[in-house]
Chain A
């Protein structure tokens, strides 16, 4: 019954959106208002002069709109902490035997292949993070690939082996460290006389020009974001796979 009643507002919204859709610009139109806006033209034109970073998206993300990125990192951190808080009051004392569950030993082929893959994966994560300035990449992507390498350990062996490499306390410390790094760079530039997150003022401590100071501060900020995202992605998986008890999991 609910399925039928909920179709009515859904179809109404659909008709409204489709009727408004006639006014949308055609796909790929160069004269559309979004492409003509002065803000994006300023970003495209002035990124090279202001920051000497070839990747416009990273420059806008970490420098021109760095405030957004800082609070996005804080949101990810809060989500991780909330998951730990929710699942730490877990109540399954006895182990329910589910019908799709089997007891399995770590397979020898899988473990040996993964042993070869994981170092390469982690080096790739560092590469993606450091090369965010000149190629698609940056802090988020590198952090997630790094977190995925720890999840791979947890899947191929068992969760305890992954927890012995990266315990939950270390996860929280690393995540907090990432945000402190980000905010610290912003505060440092404030103490040196500029505004919060005005990286150009860092030329007073680093022996580089104003533009290159923004370049290097962007790298520092992306490293902070990478730390937080790595730790939280692994903490999210570890808590969800073991219902908060962190003893055994998938």
Chain B
């Protein structure tokens, strides 16, 4: 039953690595499967912090202290001690200058190298998060939604509209501009019939905007319903 050995070894002694892997998977799945953009960003951040957690946990040494020199190895301890022992005649053993540590004392300090690398990683992570949130705000201003499926629909429709040939779109723009000028000229005089005519022209304008390739009948009905 080598499998049982693997399971117990993995889950009992190295439980923390299992939890790091679980956090990694949660972050990765959130980035792939969630539809809301903010949830994707939270997934990205969970992913990054899980990696940083894994990296920093490699630097742990049992019975080791933090990576700041203790007073007996302190390089400035010499000056400090020399100042205090001015009145004494004998020289205390800390009064020589900083020296290279021997391997036995090196084992008493935690490893500083992963801490340094992960400091950089945290700061770069927050810069990335800030930039991604700015992009999300711009997307919301442009499209009015931050759900991925609605966004894809709107992008498809925008692509459709943009892929019409430029001749058709310029003609349509010219017609629209002419109608807008006519409508503006008509509203300067305030008679009811002119207002009714402006109503039909504006519904025609609305229908032309909404369905470029549909027939006129249902679109006029849609425009009338909108007005009502």
Contacts and interface: CB of A to CB of B under 8 A. Distances in A.
Contacts of A37: 113
Contact of B131 (A61, A65, A83): A83
Nearest to B69: A54
Interface of B is mostly: helix
A45 B116 contact: no
Counting chain A CB atoms within 10 Å of each CB, which of B28, B29, B60, B67 scores highest? B67
Given A45-B100, A48-B69, A61-B119, A56 B112 contact: yes
15 contacts: A10-B32, A14-B22, A22-B10, A30-B61, A34-B58, A49-B100, A52-B76, A56-B109, A57-B116, A68-B120, A72-B124, A75-B124, A87-B138, A89-B138, A239-B134
Interface string A1-34: 0110011011101100110011011111110101
A232 B115 CA distance: 23
Interface of B: 6, 9-10, 13-14, 16-18, 21-22, 24-25, 28-29, 32-33, 35, 57-62, 64, 66-69, 73-76, 98-103, 106-107, 109, 111-116, 119-120, 123-124, 127-128, 130-131, 133-135, 137-138, 141-142
Nearest to B35: A2
A111 interface: no
A10 B135 contact: no
Nearest to B70: A54
B60 A27 contact: yes
Nearest to A28: B62
A48 B99 contact: yes
Task: Please name the 5 residue pairs, one residue from A and one from B, whose CB atoms are nearest each other, closest first.
Answer: A79-B127, A6-B32, A28-B62, A48-B75, A48-B98
Given A21-B21, A26-B13, A75-B124, 17 more contacts: A10-B28, A13-B25, A14-B22, A14-B25, A18-B10, A21-B14, A34-B114, A44-B111, A45-B101, A49-B100, A52-B75, A76-B124, A86-B131, A87-B134, A140-B123, A240-B130, A240-B134
